[in-house]
């Protein structure tokens, strides 16, 4: 992969760039919708393309459990299996093992856990995670790290930093020693841990950045810590991470979080929020959050968001979407998901334009000012 910065903002660390991948270029800053089990819930590749999606995320833990790597390998890799010919990033499975699986037991060697589906026993370590991700054939492979919860004490955070540093070398070595499966390169992103502790963040960055060839991730944030602490850590890392590689902030977040993080030099994001919130009837719009299930939308025949060009906003009314979501109709979930994903991708596209035009600082202050009264944005 190659990363070229095409424009940089003079008033902040924001930059616009192009990340060349084996499955085509991605313009940054970019948002990656989450396709947990090999599908961005309710959206097919055609809808994703229309929404401006250029890269999606797949979850190693879920795909390993179902349908299993053997089936995906037989299909010719995840791109082939799910009919998506653009870039894919896969996570390491670690986060789900720590947060979702039952009875997990962590040592320096790896993690023993029980499936959240049937209680069956499994073991993940750097080699296992790399082998699964190699079989998935993602363009970007995430390092197997330990992500402690947001309220972790400094001792637990330090253990996680040590393991993450030890494991990144094992990830790199496994990938170097085992052949590619589908003829295209895979790039490993190391992950910086350290919770909300400055010294640990600096140490983690110093230890994992040498393993970065074209991209590095900021992990262990948006996991329950104070939001102010999250931005302090991103600000700190802006000075620690290489400027010539893309920076990926994992699991973030709300639209205003994305704008603030781009201002601090972040290039890539993923979050379940646009699709999950859509299914609960929460829509992101240029007017703030709209809870479409509210009584008042039953008879609101206006367009959901006149600033949006998605299929929902071009063709249907708030009243119709309110009805569909209230009766739990699949079409409602799909249209709402399409709108929210479009909102996120349009926001990223606007940021890229504003950076390229030299107006990002003013635009970002205006956007954040406008949205500050809107809870949930
Ligand atoms: Zn829309």
Gap from CA of 341 to ligand 1 centroid (Å)? 9
Per-residue model confidence as pLDDT tens digits over 154-188: 999 999 999 999 999 999 999 999 999 999 999 99
Active site residue 270: yes
Give the pLDDT confidence score for residue 37 in this predicted structure: 96
Would residue 24 count as lying in a domain?
no
Instruction: Collapse the DSSP code of 25 into the 3-class scheme (helix H, G, I; strand E, B; otherwise coil) and give the result.
Output: strand
Give the pLDDT confidence score for residue 295 in this predicted structure: 98
Which stretches of the chain are DSSP H helices? 45-50, 60-65, 69-75, 78-82, 94-99, 126-136, 154-177, 198-208, 227-238, 255-263, 273-279, 311-315, 318-326, 330-356, 360-371
Per-residue model confidence as pLDDT tens digits over 291-349: 999 999 999 999 999 999 999 999 999 999 999 999 999 999 999 999 999 999 999 99
Would residue 44 count as lying in a domain?
yes
Gap from CA of 54 to ligand 1 centroid (Å)? 18
Give the pLDDT confidence score for residue 104 in this predicted structure: 83
Given 257, 267, 270, 305, the catalytic residue? 270
Enclosing domain of residue 43: 29-271
Per-residue model confidence as pLDDT tens digits over 251-302: 999 999 999 999 999 999 999 999 999 999 999 999 999 999 999 999 999 9
Domain check: are 178 and 297 in the same one? Answer: no
Active site residue 373: no
Residue 99: which pLDDT band, with cuts at 50, 70 and 90? Answer: confident
Given 9, 91, 139, 145, the catalytic residue? 91
CATH number at residue 57: 3.20.20.105
> Beta-strand (E) ranges in the chain?
2-8, 15-21, 24-28, 30-35, 56-58, 88-90, 102-107, 110-114, 121-124, 140-142, 187-189, 191-192, 216-218, 247-249, 268-271, 282-285, 288-291
φ/ψ of residue 309, rounded to 5: -110, 20
Q: Residue 135 is encoded by which pair of tokens?
A: 């079989």
Residue 228: which pLDDT band, with cuts at 50, 70 and 90? Answer: very high
Q: Residue 28 is encoded by which pair of tokens?
A: 């940054």
Cβ–Cβ under 8 Å, residues 145 and 94: yes
Gap from CA of 227 to ligand 1 centroid (Å)? 28
Closest CA to 194 of 228, 162, 242, 232: 162
Instruction: Tell which of 271, 304, 337 closes a domain.
Output: 271
Domain check: are 302 and 346 in the same one? Answer: yes
Gap from CA of 45 to ligand 1 centroid (Å)? 17
For the chain, what is the domain count? 2
């Amino acid at each position: 992969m190659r990363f070229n910065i095409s424009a940089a903002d003079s008033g902040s660390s924001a930059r616009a760039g192009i990340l060349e991948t084996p499955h085509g270029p991605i313009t940054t800053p970019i948002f990656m919708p989450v396709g947990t089990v090999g599908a961005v819930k309710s959206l097919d590749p055609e809808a994703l393309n229309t929404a401006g999606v250029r890269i999606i995320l797949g979850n190693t833990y879920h795909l390993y459990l179902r349908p299993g790597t053997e089936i995906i390998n037989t299909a010719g890799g995840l791109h082939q299996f799910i009919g998506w010919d653009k870039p894919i990033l896969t996570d390491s499975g670690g986060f789900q093992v720590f947060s979702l699986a039952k009875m997990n037991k962590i040592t320096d060697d790896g993690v023993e856990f029980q499936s959240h589906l049937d209680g069956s026993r499994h073991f993940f370590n750097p080699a296992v995670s790399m082998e699964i991700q190699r079989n998935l054939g993602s363009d970007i492979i995430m390092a197997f790290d330990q992500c402690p919860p947001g309220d972790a004490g400094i001792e637990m955070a330090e253990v996680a930093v040590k393991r993450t540093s030890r494991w990144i070398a094992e990830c790199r070595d496994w990938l170097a020693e085992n052949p590619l499966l589908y003829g295209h390169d895979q790039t490993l992103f190391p992950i910086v841990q350290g919770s909300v502790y400055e010294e640990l963040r600096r140490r983690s960055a110093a230890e994992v950045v040498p393993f970065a060839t074209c991209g590095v991730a900021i992990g262990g944030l948006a996991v329950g810590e104070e939001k102010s602490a999250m931005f302090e850590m991103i600000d700190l890392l802006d000075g620690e991470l290489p400027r010539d590689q893309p920076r990926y902030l994992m699991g973030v977040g709300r639209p205003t979080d994305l704008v603030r993080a781009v201002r601090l030099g972040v290039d890539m994001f993923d979050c379940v929020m646009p699709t999950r919130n859509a299914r609960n009837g929460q829509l992101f719009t240029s007017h703030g959050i709209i809870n479409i299930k509210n009584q008042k939308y039953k008879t609101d025949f206006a367009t959901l968001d006149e600033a949006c060009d998605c299929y929902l906003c071009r063709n249907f009314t708030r009243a119709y979407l309110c009805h569909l979501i209230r009766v739990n109709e699949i079409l409602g979930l799909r249209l709402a998901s399409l709108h929210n994903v479009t909102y996120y991708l349009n926001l990223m596209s606007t940021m890229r334009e504003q950076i390229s035009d030299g107006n990002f600082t003013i635009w970002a202050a205006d956007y954040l000012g406008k949205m500050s009264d809107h809870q949930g944005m």
